[in-house]
Amino acid sequence: MEIKGKTAIITGVTGRLAGAIVLMMAKAGANCVCIYHKNKTEAKKLKTALQKLRTKNLFIQADLTVPGNIEKVFADIERFAKPRILINAAAVFEKKLIEDVSFEYVRKMLDINFAAAMEMTQKFVKLVRKKIKQEQKPAAKIINITDIAAQRPPAGFSIYCASKAALIAATKSLAKELAPDFTVNAVSPGIINWHKDITAKQKKKILAHIPAGRAGKPEEVAQAVRLLIENDYITGQIINVDGGRSI
pLDDT by residue (tens digit) across 179-189?
999 999 999 99
Read off the pLDDT band of 194 (50, 70, 90).
Answer: confident
Better-scored residue on pLDDT, 89 or 202: 89
Predicted confidence (pLDDT) per residue in 93-146, tens digit? 999 999 999 999 999 999 999 999 999 999 999 999 998 777 789 999 999 999
pLDDT given at position 200: 87
| Catalytic residue list contains 105 | no
d(CA 91, CA 13): 10
End-to-end CA, the chain? 30
d(CA 154, CA 171): 22
pLDDT given at position 196: 73
Which strand ranges, in their side-by-side order, compose the sheet holding 57-61?
57-61, 31-36, 7-11, 83-88, 140-145, 182-189, 238-241
Rounded mean pLDDT of 148-167?
Answer: 95
Q: Does pLDDT of 203 surpass 80? A: yes
Q: Which fold has domain 7-241?
A: Rossmann fold (3.40.50)
Q: What are phi and psi of 87, to 5 degrees?
A: -120, 110
- What percent of the chain has pLDDT above 90? 87
The amino acid that residue 147 corresponds to is D
Predicted confidence (pLDDT) per residue in 27-71, tens digit? 999 999 999 999 999 999 999 999 988 889 999 999 999 999 999
Active-site residue, selected from the candidate residues 36, 105, 160, 233: 160
Environment class of 80 (CB within 10 Å of its CB; exposed 0-12, middle 13-18, buried 19+)? middle
pLDDT given at position 59: 97
